[in-house]
Amino acid sequence: MTHLLKNLSNSLWHAFHALQLDAPGIVAKSKLKVLTANIGTLIDLYGVEKGLEHYRSTQSLTFEQYIYYLQKEVFSSLSDTTSIQTCRSLEAGIGEICWLVCQKMYLNRPNPIYKDHSVYQLFRIFCLLAEMEADVVDSSYLVTMHSDEVARVASQLVISLGLSWDATDFSALATAIGTFRFPTFLAVLESKYSGGGSLDIDGIAEAIDDLYQTYVEDVIKKGYLMKKGYLLPTLRCFWFVLRPGELTYYKDSQQKESSGVIALDTNSWADAISNTAKPDKRFILSTSEHRCIELVAEDHRGRLQWLSALQTAIQNSEEKISYQRKLANQRRSMRQAIKQEKEETRLELQLERQARIAAEIQARKLEALSKQECAKVQELEDVKEKLETLLQEEKQALRDEEIVRGLQARVLREEWERREQMERLQLEQQELLELEKLKRMEFELKQQNNERQLRDAELRLQQLELEKQTLDSELQAAREKVRRSEEAQILLESQLVTTRSIRSGEKIRRTQSYVPTTKERPILIDDRVSLTKNC
């Protein structure tokens, strides 16, 4: 019966904690023998405490070791076929034994308001709703109740006493306290949510007893109903108490003597009596014993509540675990799921923040690279301007050369005109002719030199054209690289915005989002466009 030991682990921890006087976390075997003997007596196992002497070679045990011994030597005698009523009876008896061991720690307190029996009932409620967790300080265990469960119990107690419940005030109190162990839980209820001692003690005890019946005794609903007799078809008023698997009725609300028990199982059903003439307060409960019991509620709202409660009791009639413990486990699982989801959200936000920082670093690198590219483009523009200046100078030199050639042609024409004169004066001007020939040879050499320079200038011009085309292609490649870097930046920013919009929600809005400062602001599209224009 692993689930029975699991249900009793919180109560056993309180008893174990009360016995550890010498050293924290361990208890002498001699003290555990009494507790083990009482537990064995309830299960009809006698002498089971003697096995503690041979269990391990130490004189003391930790809580984990003691639970392992109980699982192997005590609770292993119970089979899975043990009835649910027997398990609940054993759970109540062992819980009472554990309370007898540890009650001195909790009953001796200053200015008590609750009765001792009420404190015991709150102890049972605490053990049902509390959770056992490992204590990091001394490598042992702690039994604590989550603040949501404390709020649930405290609000029900406050409403039962006719007081007003302030959820905001309790949230601030829970934040200040942090961990609710049983002394803290008892002190909070007794000092803050019991009217400050101004209320009647019997009224407080009755409100705590209602909580005890709801959580520990698994009472789903209770109240007065009219029941139609089986032999005599008359309606009699009884006080009904509904639990999973059974519906018990008494003569009055004192519940001293049971007038009958109606067994419920999955074959049972409850339904309203259809009456087209007018709404009816009656309903039928059918059991597996082929009995149809007619019941009458106080009003139509009460009939709906009883039908819903009966349906819940029938659905949980064959569960090994109690209904309230099942609800507590569901709430615990939901809290763990929410906690895990918050942790995953926190990790996602952290990863997103790191990705955003990496993106900003990458953006700054791209900005620096863009500046370098712009500087190179500016350099190429300067070189281009220089080359264009040289080209203009070469063109001017060619125009000057053409002017010189025109002048030379005119001179030649004049020379041809004078040739006839020179021939008539050939004899006279022979010396001058020879001199002229020499000058002409020099002029031809100079002309050849000028033609060679012209060809060289044309070759140089072609080379400059090729260099200009090369520089233009490099300039176009640089601009294309800048454009690709801008597109990558825009894509990265759009991905970041899309990720934030998808991940945003109610849970993300509670966390503090990172807002980049002006110095860390990434380059916008307008900034890059203006930077490209400047370049």
Contact 51, 72 (CB under 8 A): no
- CA 16 to CA 184: how far, in whole Å? 19
What b/e readout covers 389-408, taking b as 16+ CB neighbours within 10 angstroms? eeeeeeeeeeeeeeeeeeee
> Smallest Cα–Cα separation from 486: which of 516, 449, 524?
524
Per-residue pLDDT of 307-359, as tens digits, reads: 999 999 999 888 878 888 899 999 999 999 999 999 999 999 999 999 999 99
- CA 180 to CA 184: how far, in whole Å? 6
- In the sheet with 282-286, reading across from the earlier edge strand, the strands are 258-263, 246-250, 235-243, 221-228, 292-296, 282-286, 269-272
Structure tokens at 303: 């009939």
Structure tokens at 245: 């698997």
**Amino acid 138: pLDDT:** 59
Residue 118: C-alpha distances to residues 123, 186, 303, 320, 340 (Å): 8, 10, 32, 27, 36
Inform me whether the pLDDT recorded for 276 exceeds 80.
Answer: no
**Amino acid 77: pLDDT:** 81
Three-class SS of residue 208?
A: helix
* H helices present in 112-146, as ranges: 116-129
- CA 154 to CA 131: how far, in whole Å? 17
- Burial class of residue 487 (count of CB atoms within 10 Å of its CB; 0-12, 13-18, 19+): exposed
**Amino acid 220: pLDDT:** 93
What secondary structure does DSSP assign to 387-432, as a single string?
HHHHHHHHHHHHHHHHHHHHHHHHHHHHHHHTHHHHHHTTTTTHHH
Choose from 110-114, 402-406, 506-510 the range with maximum mean pLDDT.
Answer: 402-406
Inform me whether the pLDDT recorded for 534 exceeds 80.
Answer: no
**Amino acid 229: pLDDT:** 80
Other Cβ atoms closer than 10 A to 173: 16
**Amino acid 76: pLDDT:** 83
Q: pLDDT exceeding 70 applies to what percent of the chain?
A: 91
- CA 345 to CA 336: how far, in whole Å? 14
What b/e readout covers 140-171, taking b as 16+ CB neighbours within 10 angstroms? bbbbbbbbebbbbbbbbbbebbeeeeeeeebe
Per-residue pLDDT of 440-464, as tens digits, reads: 899 999 999 999 999 998 999 999 9
pLDDT level of residue 533 (50, 70, 90 thresholds): very low
